[in-house]
C-alpha cells in the first residue's frame, strides 16, 4: 500500500469519525432539549476546528511540494483561490516572491 493511499484512507477514517461526532452532537442536543442556538454554536466550533485542521494539512502538503493546482482541485477551487486562502508568506530568499507562479 502506498503512502498516498494510506494517507487517503486515514483521512477517510478521520472524516467518518468527524461525521459520527457531528451526528452524535446533534442527537445529544435534541435528547437533552438543548436550544437550537446551542447546537448551531457547537457545530460552528466543529467547523472552525475542521478549517484549522485543513489549513495545517495544506501547509504540510506545500512543504511536501504539492502544487497549488492540486490543492485547488482537491478543495474545489482554482489554484489562485487556494493560494489566496491558505498561502503563508513562503518566499524565495533570492527573489522574495512566491516559488510557484499563479498563472
Where do the domains of the chain lie? 3-66
33 and 42 in contact (C-beta within 8 Å)? Answer: no
Per-residue HEC secondary structure of the chain comes to: CCHHHHHHHHHHHHHHHHHHHHHHHHHHHHHCCCCHHHHHHHHHHHHHHHHHHHHHHHHHHHHCCCCHHHHHHHHCCCHHHHHHHHCCCCCCCCCCCCCCCCC
Q: What is the pTM of this model?
A: 0.58
What is the pLDDT confidence band of residue 2, given thresholds at 50, 70 and 90?
A: low
Residues 38-76 pLDDT 10s = 878 877 888 888 888 899 899 999 999 999 999 999 999
Dihedral in degrees, nearest 10, Cα atoms 48, 51, 55, 56: 70
Amino acid at each position: 500500500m502506498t503512502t498516498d493511499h494510506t494517507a487517503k484512507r486515514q483521512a477517510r477514517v478521520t472524516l467518518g469519525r468527524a461525521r459520527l461526532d457531528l451526528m452524535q452532537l446533534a442527537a445529544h442536543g435534541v435528547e437533552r432539549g438543548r436550544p437550537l442556538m446551542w447546537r448551531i454554536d457547537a457545530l460552528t466550533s466543529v467547523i472552525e476546528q475542521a478549517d484549522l485542521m485543513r489549513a495545517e494539512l495544506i501547509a504540510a502538503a506545500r512543504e511536501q511540494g504539492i502544487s497549488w493546482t492540486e490543492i485547488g482541485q482537491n478543495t474545489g477551487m482554482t489554484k489562485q483561490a487556494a493560494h489566496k486562502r491558505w498561502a503563508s508568506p513562503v518566499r524565495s530568499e533570492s527573489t522574495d516572491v512566491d516559488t510557484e507562479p499563479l498563472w
